[in-house]
Chain A
Amino acid sequence: MNAAWLAFDALLLAGILGVAWAAMAPGDAFRAIVMFMVMGLLVALAWVRLRAPDVALAEAAVGSGVTGALFLRTWHALPREAGRASEATAARPAAPRRLRLAAFGLAATLTGLLVAALASLDGTAPGLGDAVAARLAQSGVSNPVTAVLLNFRAYDTLLEVVVLLAAVVVVWSLDARPAPRPVPARGPIFLGFARLALPVTVLAAGYLLWLGAFAPGGAFQAGALLAAVGIVLLLGGLYRPGSGDRRRARLAFGLGLAGFAGAGALTLGLEGAMLRYPPAAAKTWILAIEAVLTLSIAATLAGLFLGERSAPARTGGERP
């Protein structure tokens, strides 16, 4: 049994390394992006093996799915010859031999040091697992990862939401120019798939959000699913943005931070410390914050993908 699992792990790891190299090797950019997305899914599988299902879900949905979609969108926006041949998108010509040798030396040193550090761990360090387990009952939720994210280290998550908001502000500022090429029309198969898959995906997102309190899931995973729904709706033309939608989208981007920071201010008043929830109602607080975050994360991730200019495409006139 153990030997079989070890063989599976070795095979999976070989697959991850091979696909990762294919994603980074010179050649067709489209192929590289697809290889990168496959790598994300294989890595998610590996992390399930390491008993990290929350992170595996996030990697599959955000690291592989949303990031892959962002790459594909950029590939589509680049001039054809730039997207096809890698050298045309060159920041500079292919690296000279000396630079490649230096880079290899650097990379080999990094890997060597990491391996040495891993080998020096003897497995006796307790980590923080016991400290989390000891206070899990007071956190309001029974999923330890959610307890760390939304209770013990909620301040980190608040700042993470700030980073996400900053990113969408920058992307929308940079993208304020007309689309170079129109998005191709979707066929009946895409639309049929969308009509079947979208309602189920919305349900799954709500379920993941609720599940996060006591099982793998949570706001970021649910938000990524909802973002995918938004992207499919808009790309398929199933929803046509109106003139007020850009303002509504901006409100949705800020909603997560406003809600989280508002909860921080309220808890400061109620309990005397920022994001220390009233013990009896901790679960309600966490779920309320997560629900607001889910909607805002969904809007932000979809906004990162679509950019500002996709909103006025059909109404026109607002921007040159």
Chain B
Amino acid sequence: MTTATALLYGLGGALLAGMALYRLVTAADWLRRIVAVNVLAVGVASILIATAYRGPAAPADPVPHAFVLTGIVVLVSTSAVALALIRLLHARDENHHDSR
């Protein structure tokens, strides 16, 4: 870690990942857990981007940036499928409730 800026945001990413992991395990509702997965990914991405930083004068390493860009798109795909599953589960519960 060369600069204080990168170190600061790297530590922030580590804290975000830790917080998100805790809530991912303990959250009671499904929506909140998918929010936690998203925050976890943002934490990991923050660490990657912090390590790519080379100071205010030099250009940053573009390869971790490309990784994170790919990660963002994979994450939105994952979230969309998980949310569709939640809608399906709720619809199931309602149908089950109606038939009783």
Chain A partners chain B: yes
Contact B59 A9 (CB under 8 A): no
Q: Given A20-B20, A118-B47, A157-B70, do A127 and B11 touch, yes or no (CB 8 Å)?
A: no
Min CB–CB distance A177 → chain B (angstroms): 6
User: Which of the candidate stretches A26-34, A261-269, A310-318 sits at the interface with the other chain?
Assistant: A26-34
Min CB–CB distance A318 → chain B (angstroms): 19
Please classify how large the interface on chain B is, using the bins under 10, 10 to 19, 20 to 34, 35 or more: 35 or more
Contact B91 A90 (CB under 8 A): no
A14-42: CB near B (< 8 Å → 1, else 0) gives 00110011011110010011001001100
Q: A220 vs B60: C-alpha distance in the bound complex, in angstroms?
A: 20
Nearest residue in B to A78 (C-beta to C-beta)?
Answer: B90
Among B4, B14, B33, B81, point to the contact of A115 (Cβ < 8 A).
Answer: B14
The prevalent SS among residues of A at the interface is helix
Contact B76 A62 (CB under 8 A): yes
User: Which of the candidate stretches A53-61, A233-241, A242-250, A276-284 sits at the interface with the other chain?
Assistant: A53-61
Chain A residues with CB below 8 A from B6, complex form: 50
Kindly state whether residue A107 has any CB partner on chain B within 8 Å: yes
A sample of 9 inter-chain contacts (CB < 8 A) reads: A23-B35, A39-B39, A54-B65, A58-B72, A63-B72, A91-B30, A114-B13, A132-B62, A304-B76
Residues of B within 8 A of A (CB): 1-23, 25-36, 38-39, 42, 45-47, 49-54, 56, 59-66, 68-70, 72-81, 83-88, 90-91, 94
